[in-house]
Structure 1
């Protein structure tokens, strides 16, 4: 596509959501996605539990590619393999935010904290 109107003007990012339990990670991921969508951002949630064969490396690569193309890729995943994902994002200069839902009183509060970190870095 050579039409400049088709290009996203917002930088993308990967948001890696960790913490326990899975239900809180998912709630935070989808709460964040809803808020970003309401702001007109392009968002996707990569839920590894939709594909049981997916691992952190594959999810991290998919999220990085999406983020480099202007999407906010939210990954509600455990901490396994997070170091490699973080390093890959740093090496490519792709924005990366880690969010632990255990640091907050509710998944929604965690989503708001991540939202502030994503929006203020535009």
Structure 2
């Protein structure tokens, strides 16, 4: 049974954080998560659960399902295999944002860039 009063009214999204090295991707992901928590958003960081980072398509499915259900899902993963992830999100109409930490001065700068892109899509 589905009760409309229990549905999340906040739009979900997947934020795919790319770039090297992994430590910067993780720091940017958690900095963004903290900012979103402060705004009372539902947030999940998919941080290499069961080495899912090796299979972007599978990780993308998990992220897309959570995002469709009102969660902002942050995935600090490499850029390989993202075509399937983008296609799945586009087909379901689920918001999808990519942010690269490469060339950024700090993880906080990457988090600010991602937050800015999410806010413009709300």
**Residue 120 of structure 1 aligns to a residue in which SS?**
helix
List, as ranges, runs of 4+ consecutive aligned residues in structure 1 with deviation greater than 3 Å. none
Please tell me whether residue 51 in structure 1 is matched to residue 73 in structure 2. no
- The whole-number CA distance in structure 2 between the counterparts of 1:103 and 1:63 is 25
Residue 67 of structure 1 corresponds to which residue in structure 2? 67
SS of the residue 1:61 aligns to: helix
Please say if residues 11 and 70 of structure 1, whose CA atoms lie closer than 8 Å, have aligned partners that are also in contact. Answer: yes
Could you state the TM-score of these two structures normalised by the residue count of structure 1? 0.93
| Residues 83-116 of structure 1: per-residue CA shift (max 9 Å, x gap) | 1111111111110000000132111100001001
Do 2:29 and 2:76's aligned partners in 1 also have CA atoms closer than 8 Å?
yes
Task: List runs of 5+ in structure 1 lacking aligned partners.
Answer: none
Where structure 2 has 5 or more consecutive residues not aligned to the other structure, the ranges are none
Query: TM-score, normalization: structure 2?
Result: 0.93
